[in-house]
Amino acid sequence: MLKKLKKATPIISLVFVWVIYQLWLPPLSVVYVSGFLFFCFVATVIAGNILLLKSDWKAEKIAIRPLALVGYFAAIGAIAGVIISLPVFHADKMHAQLGKVDKISFDDMIHEIDHSQIPIVDEELAQKHADKKIGEDIALGSRVDLGKVYIQEVNGEILYVAPLEHSGFWKWNKNRSTPGYITVSATNANKVKYVTEIEGKSIQINYQKAAYFGYDLKRHIRNEGFRTVGLTEYTFEIDDSGKPFWVVTTFKNTTFWGNPEATGVVIVDAQNGETQFYGLDDIPDWVDIVQPKSFIEDQLDNWGKYIHGFWNSWWFGSKKEMIKKTDLTLTVYMEGDCYYFTGMTSVGSDDSCVGFAMVNTRNKKSKICYMSGATENAAMSSAEGLVSDYGWSSTEPLPLNVNGIPTYVMALKDEEGLAKAYAMVNIEIYSISAKGETLAEVSRNYLKKVAESGTNSVVSSDEAYGYTAKGKVSRISSVVQDGSTYYYLTIDGSEIPKDTIFIGNYSISDELPITREGDHVIVKYIDDKNGTVDMIEFDNTVYGNTPISDDQKKRDKLDEGTSALDSHYNNLIEANPELNEEIWNKMTNEEKSKMIKEFLGEEKQ
């Protein structure tokens, strides 16, 4: 029996190793940790075979040496790999891995965009709306699950795209493919589409992370010849025609087992499995994510940490000029390019930034704007403070250039994850914040808060200016948008361009709804020189100009610092039914009679 087992051991071991590889799918190279561990496993299996074949299981003839040697060399190799990868040997290289970082102004980093183009929908909200879309089709919902949503720009529109995935092995075994994908607009969560065909041909997603055997995405890529390279960042993207693909980043380590660097992408047709590798210089234009977020986050931290070498960053070092990224890294789009955006803060700082960094997700071109400001978490707390009574939570803030003002914008969501309002928080002074039911409303409320703050440094752009205009109204009209009334007017004045259209919400002044053509007005506004003229204050001089009498001035002086209830002239009585009833019940009949007479004016005071 033992002899038969010995003969079968190599075959059993070979099958066992093959099964483990197919389940694990590590790169077959010792320059990757998972590859090194797999080869250690293979060596252990081989040593086990030698032990079984060369031993007769008597104490003096157990060939334990092969296993001991494997353990010895594995330990030596692991220790050597860790030591070789230590930052003390590579600090300068780690600092330089991010590449050249250009210093620019905030205006050059973040350009102004129209409100309708602000991607205010976050990943969680997009996932909810996509799930709801699947739930509308009972048959579909019982067959598939919704995969992760991936943000991307398609034909100039920013979308979240999620593949339909198999809900389990038996569903995969029965169907082998899933019928399409879901898209959710990043600017309008209600704009959801279930895409089932392209140019009249139905979509059948065969290769995916939730498939099995040869249709498993990673296994398919390995079987296509990519057995020795590192694979990471599996992203579902569609090209400009809507055709679905998987984009997988390939990488190599630059310090033996550490500091990985992207080398290109493997693009897999999600329908037919056609696989193609593209180097960094040849990647198709429609691919958005090449550089994994985790790679860039580590490289940003290393760039700020090792600015003066390793010993400056050590626990007893001076930590001179050391900075690090904040907790959040956002994916933002700017003029067709995709970037990772994050604040940079001093080591040991919690709520303040010393600057903001953006890194291109394709080519890793980096830029930084040095300016003091709030971290993303501090801005979120400021926004949530505006609606503390409701208990709403803030989405991750999106950096915007609002009329030249560095600003965070975020949605405020209820417990169900639905956007109920929007908030804007000034990046430089996060105590300046505003909320509104729509982006247009919050923008106007925010600009008014900025103007009222009296802080000139807030409006720091060369393109945004604060103005006061006086003149006669030549035209005025109103329109209702998302439940709010907005007024559009033109003003004839010597210093006002004739084609200037002023826009204001009804909330900026009670006089705005009753203003007519011919009225003389004074408006305060911010003009970005790009056609948008938002009023932040409005005064119709026809109203509210009655001179204040001397008696009124004396009354105002006497009542200064008091409320209407405390006024010496208003004779207002604060209602408290329970207290009044208690006092009344304690009064005598004579006291009650006297109070009634005083109230009716029958007895002089």
Cβ pair 555, 569 in contact under 8 A: yes
Q: What is the pLDDT of residue 458?
A: 47
Give the closest residue to 513 by CA, choosing from 541, 538, 483, 544. 538
Domains of the chain: 2-84 (no CATH), 94-116+316-454 (no CATH), 119-279 (no CATH), 465-540 (2.40.50.140), 561-600 (no CATH)
Q: What is the pLDDT of residue 5?
A: 67
Could you say which DSSP state residue 604 is in?
A: -
User: Which strand (E) or helix (H) includes residue 312?
Assistant: helix 310-313
Give the closest residue to 401 by CA, choosing from 148, 105, 88. 105
User: Which strand (E) or helix (H) includes residue 32?
Assistant: none
Residues sharing a CB contact under 8 Å with residue 7, sequence separation 6 or more, in sequence order: none
Cβ pair 228, 171 in contact under 8 A: no
Tell me how far apart the alpha carbons of residues 383 and 393 are, in angstroms, rounded to a whole number: 8
Q: What is the pLDDT of residue 405?
A: 86
Q: What is the pLDDT of residue 336?
A: 86
Residues of the chain with pLDDT under 50: 456-463, 563-565, 567-575, 602-605
Give the closest residue to 181 by CA, choosing from 155, 149, 158, 154. 149
The pTM score is 0.78
Q: What is the pLDDT of residue 463?
A: 44
Mutual orientation of helices 65-84 and 33-54 as an angle, nearest 10°?
170
Give the closest residue to 225 by CA, choosing from 266, 262, 283. 266
Cβ pair 332, 398 in contact under 8 A: yes
In 25-85, which ranges are continuous DSSP H helix? 33-54, 65-84
Number of Cβ within 10 Å of residue 216's Cβ equals 19
Residue 154 φ/ψ, nearest 5 degrees: -125, 115
Question: Which residues on adjacent β-strands are paired with residue 277?
Answer: 266
Number of Cβ within 10 Å of residue 295's Cβ equals 23
Question: Which residues on adjacent β-strands are paired with residue 419?
Answer: 413
Block residue for tokens 């198999």:
166
